Structure 1
Amino acid sequence: MQPEEPLTPQPVGPSWWRPQQTSRRPWRRTLAVAFGSAAVVTVLGAPLGLLWHQVSPSVPVIDAGANGIVVNDPSPEQYIAADGWLTLLGIGFALIVAMAAWILLRRDRGPALLLGVVAGAAAAVRWIAVPIGELLGKDAYEHWRATATQGATYLAPPALHSVGPTLVPPFVAAIVLTLLAGWSNDPDLDQPGAQPGYGPNHGEYDSYESPVVSSGWPAGPDPTAAPAPPAPGPADQPHG
């Protein structure tokens, strides 16, 4: 009879250094999530522009004749107040849309959702909120400029004077979604409650258990079991 080959010990338990197989989403759904989230966030720039126009103070200007329309104050706070208000509102806007996307699109969390929300936040402020906020009251202001006489004053509508406020919302949205992903203990980022290193989520589970991996060696004694009584020795044998 040939001697049996020695068994090679196999690692027991999950190996954290091994790449885990993750769930694959259809590429059509990935593109739909990216473009859909970007479109929705972009449309939400309209109420942001209305709010920015309402809270930003008007700028007092005066018709200086040959010098044109100038600000009627040596150091007007209203001139830069519109930029400050847009920055603050942009931060709040980014926090709301990022957290809403994270909660409502739980099954689609990932890079596509991140890109969609960030792109939508940038477009919402730069191409929707700012034009709408500056457009309100612009016709009346242009009419006053065309008909004003020297020395006449007017309260000009708010206008954006720098690019910085338009860059704040996408930056904040990216930071918020990245932090939420980093704090999540779910490997797939789509089902809260999974434990790190336990593999992908393929369904609804109430609890997660570690997989049992056999090493090929015979099972050893249970360390929690009571010790077996010692076998009787020669002194304990009955004498005939």
Structure 2
Amino acid sequence: MAEQPVWNRGEPALPTGLSDPAHPMVIPWPRRRPAVVVRADLRFGLGVFVVVALLGVPIGLLWSRLAPPQRMAVLPSGSLVPENSESYHRFDDLALFGLIGLAAGLVVAVALWLLRRRRGPVALVAAVAGSALGAWLAMRTGLFFAGHLYPPGALPPVGGTVLRAPQLNSGWGVLAQPLAAAFVYGTLVAWNGADDLGRPG
């Protein structure tokens, strides 16, 4: 029977691989963390902020095309009142704006996450800030485009109907896109679990 090394009581025993020359234990080298390039990340973040903010213009145009107008009846006094069930379109316009913002925030967050080299807090802050400004631009440009699609024009005779442009009676809709971007990107970070978020070295 081969002799076994004897260790003093109280001393930690060496791993088996160290006592067997035929099967040496391989000690892996610690993985080098990629260096954070601050200047490049900041330039990237500024570009993301500008691009995401400018996306508000096509988003506003899309909303103005999809949002339903409100049919208004002309009273003898010359005032306008919404026809039956047409007043619900005010909620429809706001809900549609919020849904488009949620979809845009999700797309922005996933697209940024796929850029592995620039993952990190700079990308998150740029996405959220750009989404907030983009949502505000979407609201302003959407109302502008909707006003041109449904101009007021002259009032028809009493009892006639006119189409009122879609409206956004609440500013809370601008929060949908930045909140969606922050939630989706944060979820991807938590799901990844790596200290370097998988950035290449």
TM-score under structure 1 normalisation? 0.63
Tell me the SS of whatever aligns to 2:35. coil
CA RMSD of the aligned region, Å?
2.8
Q: Which of residues 106, 124, 140 is equivalent to 2:134?
A: 124
The answer as to whether partners of 1:60 and 1:72 remain within 8 angstroms in 2 is yes
2:164 maps to a residue whose letter is A
Q: Deviation digits for residues 102-153 of structure 1, max 9, x if unmatched?
A: 10x2111111100000111111111x21222211241464542xx3256342
Q: Which of residues 38, 56, 59 is equivalent to 2:49?
A: 38
Q: Distance in 2 between matches of 1:39 and 1:180?
A: 23
In the TM superposition, what are the counterparts of 1:167-186 in structure 2 within 5 Å? Answer: 167-186=175-194
2:43 maps to a residue whose letter is A
Higher share in helix? 2
Cα drift, residue 65 of structure 1: 5.7
Q: Distance in 2 between matches of 1:73 and 1:178?
A: 44
The answer as to whether partners of 1:114 and 1:174 remain within 8 angstroms in 2 is yes
Tell me the SS of whatever aligns to 1:61. strand
Tell me the SS of whatever aligns to 1:155. strand
- Aligned residue number for residue 97 of structure 2: 86
TM-aligned CA distance change 1:137 to 1:169, over 3 Å: closer
Gapped regions of structure 2 (runs ≥ 5): 1-10, 16-26
- Aligned residue number for residue 226 of structure 1: none
In the TM superposition, what are the counterparts of 1:147-186 in structure 2 within 5 Å? Answer: 147-148=154-155, 151=158, 152-186=160-194
Q: Distance in 1 between matches of 2:170 and 2:132?
A: 15
Tell me the SS of whatever aligns to 1:70. strand
Q: Deviation digits for residues 5-48 of structure 1, max 9, x if unmatched?
A: xxx98xx989xxxxx98543233222212211111111122221
Tell me the SS of whatever aligns to 1:62. strand
- Aligned residue number for residue 196 of structure 2: 188
Q: Distance in 1 between matches of 2:118 and 2:85?
A: 53
- Aligned residue number for residue 144 of structure 2: 135
Cα drift, residue 84 of structure 1: 0.8
Q: Deviation digits for residues 67-121 of structure 1, max 9, x if unmatched?
A: 7333233662212110111111111111111101110x21111111000001111
Q: Distance in 2 between matches of 1:140 and 1:176?
A: 34
The answer as to whether partners of 2:71 and 2:163 remain within 8 angstroms in 1 is yes
- Aligned residue number for residue 113 of structure 1: 123
Q: Distance in 2 between matches of 1:124 and 1:57?
A: 22
TM-score under structure 2 normalisation? 0.74
The answer as to whether partners of 2:132 and 2:175 remain within 8 angstroms in 1 is yes
1:99 maps to a residue whose letter is V
